[in-house]
Amino acid sequence: MQTNMTIKGQVTIPSAIRKAAGLVPGQPVEVAINDRGEAVVRPVDADAEREKRIQDKLARIREVQAKFRAQDTMPGYTSDEWYQLMRGDPPEV
């Protein structure tokens, strides 16, 4: 099958091709060039994508925590003690 690309780079993928490839409207797709130089479009594994987003968020949280620890704004307090103070929890004795 043949289709045209718009000046914005958009391509309409024919229905039969979408169905055969498992492409679903609204779901992410991966676009890549294979080893033969061909453009390839395939559905993204939803579970893998969700795991990647979780890992990305955790990495950002760890980065912020590392910056906070490097500042040493509350000397003598552990992270847990600092969080307790921030939440207003009574200090553990």
Render pLDDT for 32-54 as a digit per residue (tens, 0 to 9): 999 999 999 998 887 777 888 88
Give the helix, strand, coil percentages of the chain, each rounded to 5.
45, 15, 40
The alpha helices in the chain, defined as continuous H runs, are 15-21, 46-71, 79-87
pTM beyond cutoff 0.75: no
Residue-level pLDDT at 72: 61
What percent of the chain clears pLDDT 90, i.e. is strictly above it? 33
Mean pLDDT of the chain: 84
**Mean pLDDT in residue range 64-76:** 71
